[in-house]
Structure 1
Amino acid sequence: MSAMPASAQSKTAAPQPSEGATAEGATALRPHAEQAFAGELAALAAQDDRPRPARWRLSPWAVATYLLGGTLPDGTVITPKYVGPRRIVEVAVTTLATDRALLLLGVPGTAKTWVSEHLAAAVSGDSTLLVQGTAGTPEEAIRYGWNYARLLAHGPSRDALVPSPVMRAMAEGMTARVEELTRIPADVQDTLITILSEKTLPIPELGEEVQAVRGFNLIATANDRDRGVNDLSSALRRRFNTVVLPLPESAEAEVDIVTRRVEQLGRSLDLPAAPDGMAEIRRVVTVFRELRDGMTDDGRTKLKSPSGTLSTAEAISVVTNGLALAAHFGDGVLRPADVAAGILGAVVRDPAADRVVWQEYLETVVREREGWTDFYRACREVSA
């Protein structure tokens, strides 16, 4: 099976995803998972009669159903959020029900962040207890910080302390998330060791500590493809149960993923549905898979691979951008010219090396492929 996020239209009178709203009442551009799929989460909770771990909103079975999709006894259709091996989701969910933290590992574009968000939404009803890892992430982002005005005025106190998302999750028995863990400096990463092993967070300035209550756990995501990553120490890696999210195994599975996700993004961006766009979606997926695998689909021609990952997420972006071009500057029909520039931008990351790879692919594969003449011309035009 494949490994990427997905969204499908309900075929029954299932609760529809809510749009979400900002504090001012305006529609949120990108609602949190617990907002966008509040109806499905409520339907699952109402019919979920299986045992639930402490402070979980749903049972492990219901959490897996929420991610993978299914039909409830009352006919409610739960849309799939992840299309991939069921066992991967089951292992991830059961890990969160233990005292082991979960590390979602995979190349860029394999839905690590997406799965992390939806797991937190289903387990805790809140996916916002998030630490975004970067090269500049400080220790305070994981432990705690201080309100310096209060600190200077009154000295160290609970009122002056600013809890991190991880500290809040520990105190409330919730699920915390750390994105791009390997982007965080190694000494800051190791702040998690005591939290994950002892389930405590010392506050030496106050002579206190925060003890995690039942229900607390942590989901981290990481990939080992990007340059400049900081490898996890063996001590920290031992605190995680690692689940590897794979790329889609078949072209059909990847086409399905891209189609579902593009439909969802198109609705959120108010893009009109493009008639007969499946041909271009298949073409984008084919190009990405062949260049990614270094081989044409028929196995007859070996290819050079570009420096980029050419992930399913990038294919979704290329098609979505193509739909916007077709809607606003075309006749609404997705055509080769609408996706050609996006493909070029995704493939040619290194102008020197990748451009050679792309030109060879165009001339040796695309030019000779039956039914791809318009696509070849469009790509040649944007590549000139």
Structure 2
Amino acid sequence: MGAAGGHGVLRPHAEQAFAGELAALAAADDRPRPARWRLSPWAVATYLLGGTLRDGTVITPKYVGPRRIVEVAVSTLATDRALLLLGVPGTAKTWVSEHLAAAVSGDSTLLVQGTAGTPEEAVRYGWNYAQLLARGPGQEALVPSPVMRAMAGGTIVRIEELTRIPADVQDALITILSEKTLPVPELGQEVQAVPGFNLIATANDRDRGVNELSSALRRRFNTVVLPLPATAEAEVDIVSRRVEQIGRSLDLPPAPDGAAEIRRVVTVFRELRDGVTTDGRTRLKSPTGALSTAEAISVVTGGLALAAHFGDGVLRPGDVAAGIHGAVVRDPAADRLVWQEYLETVVRERDGWKDFYRACREIPA
């Protein structure tokens, strides 16, 4: 079963969207599985990277990148060390963490979203104050965090944007990750993690210096850096796959001949991100934004919606121009000049890009 439709929700969880693939892998998987894992480490890696099973079932790639990165991430989860996925915005950290949790535990929903206001209760536990006032401290009044639930159930828990969480809240994880226990002193008890428990955290390279992990906490993680796609072909493949999945979930009609515009979006993003044209001849200024693969996916998806609802269904330069402009010009003062220079020195002179140049020039500055 693919990633689209049939669930009655806008975005099914990974274990719902790819239930057919997970079931096929489980049926074909005859390799040793760690305690409470739904699949063996080999099958988890196959689920993420894609492949064809002995019975001919095709497993679609969820992550396009170096195989070794996935193997290290999966093997980390089979040890007593937690996994930290690190990278610049848009390198599929959240996507990879969700699919890892779905493949290992069959449940990707145990999640703590890190923000500057994330309280310690989100990591440890809280209280139902109505129950607390009525009956005092007791098991009925305890509200377990996703971390506590994962410890008790032997499953994977995810923490998004770990470095955005205040340092004192981060440090609540040290005992959990080192001792595999969560004390509840109010009840004179503790929750001890059972086999199968582990934690996947994500962090943004650009958040360094916001709430740096303490050395004590960092030692509890094995850090895996997710790079940007190494080649334009790999990035085009990623964007094409995700746009197709998202388009199906939104009931957008497939856009014929959309490959040319996807490649154009990827080319613009890579050139401005790298600060040099594809042929290496022209140095460019880079804008303040990340221009990530995730943003390219968003631009193309927006273009598909324009083509479907206000055009003839064919993805054209005018459908993606506004999205690219919005992604590049984040800081009007600094980025507008970068974009204008790129249009005049690169886009204007490039063969086959005249329609795109005109579409970009028509966008109000």
Q: What is the letter of the counterpart of residue 256 of structure 1?
A: D
TM-score between the two structures when normalised by the length of structure 1: 0.94
Counterpart of 1:225 in structure 2 is: 206
Does the 8 A contact of 1:17 with 1:40 survive in 2? no
Counterpart of 2:136 in structure 1 is: 155
Give the aligned length.
Answer: 365
RMSD between superposed Cα atoms in Å? 1.0
Q: Give the Cα separation in 2 of the matches to 1:247 and 1:224.
A: 12
Q: What is the letter of the counterpart of residue 304 of structure 2?
A: L
Q: Give the Cα separation in 1 of the matches to 2:79 and 2:221.
A: 11
Q: Which runs of 5+ in 1 are unaligned?
A: 1-14, 22-26
Counterpart of 1:34 in structure 2 is: 15
Does the 8 A contact of 2:236 with 2:262 survive in 1? yes
Counterpart of 2:91 in structure 1 is: 110
Q: Give the Cα separation in 1 of the matches to 2:214 and 2:174.
A: 10
Q: Give the Cα separation in 2 of the matches to 1:235 and 1:20.
A: 45
Q: Give the Cα separation in 1 of the matches to 2:339 and 2:190.
A: 56
Q: CA deviation at 1:230?
A: 1.1
Q: Are residue 19 (structure 1) and residue 5 (structure 2) matched?
A: yes
Does the 8 A contact of 1:43 with 1:76 survive in 2? yes
Q: Which runs of 5+ in 2 are unaligned?
A: none
Does the 8 A contact of 2:148 with 2:191 survive in 1? yes
Q: CA deviation at 1:17?
A: 4.5
Matches for 1:112-191 after TM superposition, within 5 Å: 112-191=93-172
Identity of aligned residues (%): 87
Q: CA deviation at 1:228?
A: 7.0
Counterpart of 1:86 in structure 2 is: 67
Does the 8 A contact of 1:20 with 1:32 survive in 2? no
Superposition misfits of 4+ residues, deviation over 4 angstroms: none
Counterpart of 2:173 in structure 1 is: 192
Deviations 1:94-148 (A, max 9, x none): 0000000000000000000000000000000000000000111000000000000
Q: Give the Cα separation in 2 of the matches to 1:200 and 1:45.
A: 30
- 286, 298, 302: which is aligned to 2:267? 286
Counterpart of 1:7 in structure 2 is: none
Deviations 1:81-101 (A, max 9, x none): 000000000000000000000
Q: Give the Cα separation in 1 of the matches to 2:209 and 2:246.
A: 31
- 32, 39, 44: which is aligned to 1:63? 44
Does the 8 A contact of 1:18 with 1:35 survive in 2? no
Does the 8 A contact of 2:123 with 2:173 survive in 1? yes
TM-score between the two structures when normalised by the length of structure 2: 0.98
Counterpart of 1:312 in structure 2 is: 293
Counterpart of 1:3 in structure 2 is: none
Counterpart of 1:54 in structure 2 is: 35
DSSP 3-state at the match of 2:290 = coil
Q: Give the Cα separation in 2 of the matches to 1:143 and 1:354.
A: 42
DSSP 3-state at the match of 1:135 = coil
Q: CA deviation at 1:20?
A: 5.6
DSSP 3-state at the match of 1:275 = coil
Q: CA deviation at 1:323?
A: 0.3
Q: Are residue 374 (structure 1) and residue 355 (structure 2) matched?
A: yes
Q: Are residue 246 (structure 1) and residue 227 (structure 2) matched?
A: yes
Q: Give the Cα separation in 2 of the matches to 1:298 and 1:383.
A: 30
Deviations 1:180-217 (A, max 9, x none): 00111111011100000000001011111100001100
Q: What is the letter of the counterpart of residue 353 of structure 1?
A: A
Q: CA deviation at 1:19?
A: 3.5
Q: CA deviation at 1:287?
A: 0.4
